[in-house]
């Protein structure tokens, strides 16, 4: 990602005024001024989301529509497959799929969600990458597609075991939706795009709403006692417990999907011997790693003590070796687990669950065990 000029004014989402009014502590994030927490604090916000329902502002994310010039959504899907290793043609109307933009070396330019809205594709990309992603799409797909950014829409996430009951009061379609269903739905009389998905490991929804109506909708949802506003701090600890990657930290242009332990997201049709094998940037390297394995892997890590191991900590094969074998890419305290957890990269030979490694923290070597992710079971409605 490009470094941001510290003198460039931060952007604000359509919900900025509401965050301030609710007592949100605002911090810079991906070029935006965003709430890191509210008065109750990160720990309570995290546990409230796991127990009831948390409401997140994710309007900084990029939203785009991809229309085939032919008018056929299949042609837009086929075109997008030039840029991602996923099977987009197989995404049925009303469904969405997780994908990655890859570069010529197999590295990840960004990860994204792709939904089939029947006559076009709807994309949600990361905030810090959205300008580059749009340019990437225009450079490679403008011959067959119209790329339409949607800057006039806000995006909110409602996550947790009470998310369905809260949204059902405003959207009659919500209870019937299953994990990764996505499409246009009416919410409190507003024309919204709703997906049953999120980034906490909990059941929940993401709701794209016209920017001018976002504050009214959020206030309506917050009238429900089960729903509270949640900041970036708890969003990060929730996704870490769920073993989910944060682009720019756990994934970047130097990591392939296989190294990132995302091979589950690459369908058989795009692999060797598949109906549409390859054809995307970095295919040779990615397909070879799918067949033969990658030299390193993203792994979960559990500390044996109580001290959190943070991003950037060097990892070692034993307590005395000089050469590090990897590094932590995300780490912190897991409130639901009441224990520290982390993710990082290790050589494939050290990536098996149960393997002991050591992290260097303030000059000390702290023992960690490689662990399977997610650290807590997800509760998606299948």
> Tens of pLDDT along the chain (382 residues)?
334 445 679 999 999 999 999 999 999 999 999 999 999 999 999 999 999 999 999 999 999 999 999 999 999 999 999 999 999 999 999 999 999 999 999 999 999 999 999 999 999 999 999 999 999 999 999 999 999 999 999 999 999 999 999 999 999 999 999 999 999 999 999 999 999 999 999 999 999 999 999 999 999 999 999 999 999 999 999 999 999 999 999 999 999 999 999 999 999 999 999 999 999 999 999 999 999 999 999 999 999 999 999 999 999 999 999 999 999 999 999 999 999 999 999 999 999 999 999 999 999 999 999 999 999 999 999 9
CA-based end-to-end distance of the chain: 34
Instruction: Give the number of other Cβ atoms within 10 Å of residue 1's Cβ.
Output: 15
β pairing state of 153-159 and 204-210: antiparallel
Query: What tokens were used for 85?
Result: 């290793």
Per-residue pLDDT reduced to its tens digit, 243-300: 999 999 999 999 999 999 999 999 999 999 999 999 999 999 999 999 999 999 999 9
* Cβ burial, residue 261 (10 Å; 0-12/13-18/19+): buried
Q: What angle do CA 315, 317, 320 make, to 5 degrees?
A: 95
Cα–Cα nearest to 370, from 337, 334, 328, 338: 328
Q: Residue 19's pLDDT is what?
A: 98
Instruction: Give the number of other Cβ atoms within 10 Å of residue 172's Cβ.
Output: 12
Rounded CA-CA distance 48/235 in Å is 12
Cα–Cα nearest to 253, from 375, 134, 111: 111
Q: Residue 4's pLDDT is what?
A: 44
Q: Residue 1's pLDDT is what?
A: 36
Q: What are the extents of the domains in the chain? A: 16-58+152-241, 295-382
Please list, in sequence order, all residues whose beta carbon lies within 8 angstroms of the beta carbon of residue 242, skipping any fewer than 6 positions away: 199, 200, 201, 373, 374, 375, 376, 378
| Inter-residue contact 180 to 95 (CB < 8 Å) | yes
Please list, in sequence order, all residues whose beta carbon lies within 8 angstroms of the beta carbon of residue 117, skipping any fewer than 6 positions away: 65, 73, 93, 182, 183, 184, 193
Domain 295-382 top-level CATH class = mainly beta
Please list, in sequence order, all residues whose beta carbon lies within 8 angstroms of the beta carbon of residue 275, skipping any fewer than 6 positions away: 269
Per-residue pLDDT reduced to its tens digit, 55-109: 999 999 999 999 999 999 999 999 999 999 999 999 999 999 999 999 999 999 9
Q: Residue 7's pLDDT is what?
A: 64
Domain 16-58+152-241 top-level CATH class = alpha beta
Rounded CA-CA distance 133/137 in Å is 6
The DSSP H or E segment spanning 284 is helix 283-292
Rounded CA-CA distance 263/34 in Å is 32
Q: Residue 208's pLDDT is what?
A: 99
pTM equals 0.96
Please tell me whether residue 76 adopts helix, strand or coil conformation. helix
Q: Residue 8's pLDDT is what?
A: 79
């Amino acid at each position: 990602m490009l470094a941001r000029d510290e003198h460039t004014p931060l952007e604000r989402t359509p919900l900025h005024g509401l965050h301030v009014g609710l007592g949100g502590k605002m911090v810079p994030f991906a070029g935006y001024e965003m709430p890191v927490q509210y008065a109750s604090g990160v720990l309570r916000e995290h546990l409230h989301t796991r127990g009831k329902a948390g409401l997140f502002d994710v309007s900084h994310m990029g939203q785009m529509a991809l229309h085939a010039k032919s008018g056929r959504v299949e042609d837009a899907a086929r075109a997008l497959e030039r840029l991602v290793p996923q099977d987009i043609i197989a995404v049925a109307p009303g469904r969405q799929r997780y994908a990655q933009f890859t570069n010529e070396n197999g590295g990840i330019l960004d990860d994204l969600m792709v939904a089939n809205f029947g006559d076009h594709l709807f994309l949600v990309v990361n905030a810090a990458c959205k300008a580059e992603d749009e340019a990437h799409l225009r450079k490679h797909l403008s011959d067959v597609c119209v790329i339409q950014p949607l800057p006039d829409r806000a995006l909110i996430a409602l996550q947790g075991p009470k998310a369905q009951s809260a949204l059902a009061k405003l959207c009659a379609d919500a209870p019937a939706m299953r994990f990764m269903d996505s499409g246009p739905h009416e919410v409190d009389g507003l024309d919204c795009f709703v997906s049953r998905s999120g980034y906490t490991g909990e059941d929940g929804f993401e709701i794209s709403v016209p920017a001018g109506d976002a504050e009214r909708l959020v206030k309506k949802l917050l009238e429900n006692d089960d729903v509270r506003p949640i900041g970036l701090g708890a969003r990060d600890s929730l996704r870490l417990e769920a073993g989910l990657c944060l682009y720019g930290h756990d994934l970047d242009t130097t990591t392939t999907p296989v190294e990132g332990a995302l091979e589950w997201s690459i369908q058989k049709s795009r692999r060797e011997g598949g109906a549409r094998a390859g054809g995307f940037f970095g295919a040779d390297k990615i397909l070879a790693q799918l067949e033969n394995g990658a030299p390193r892997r993203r792994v979960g890590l559990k500390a044996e003590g109580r001290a959190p191991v943070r991003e950037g900590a060097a990892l070692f094969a034993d307590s005395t070796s000089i050469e590090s074998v990897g590094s932590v890419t995300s780490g912190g305290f897991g409130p639901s687990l009441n224990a520290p957890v982390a993710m990082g990269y290790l050589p494939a030979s050290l990536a098996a669950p149960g393997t002991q490694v050591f992290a260097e923290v303030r000059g000390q070597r702290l023992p960690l065990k490689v662990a399977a992710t997610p650290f807590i079971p997800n509760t998606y409605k299948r």
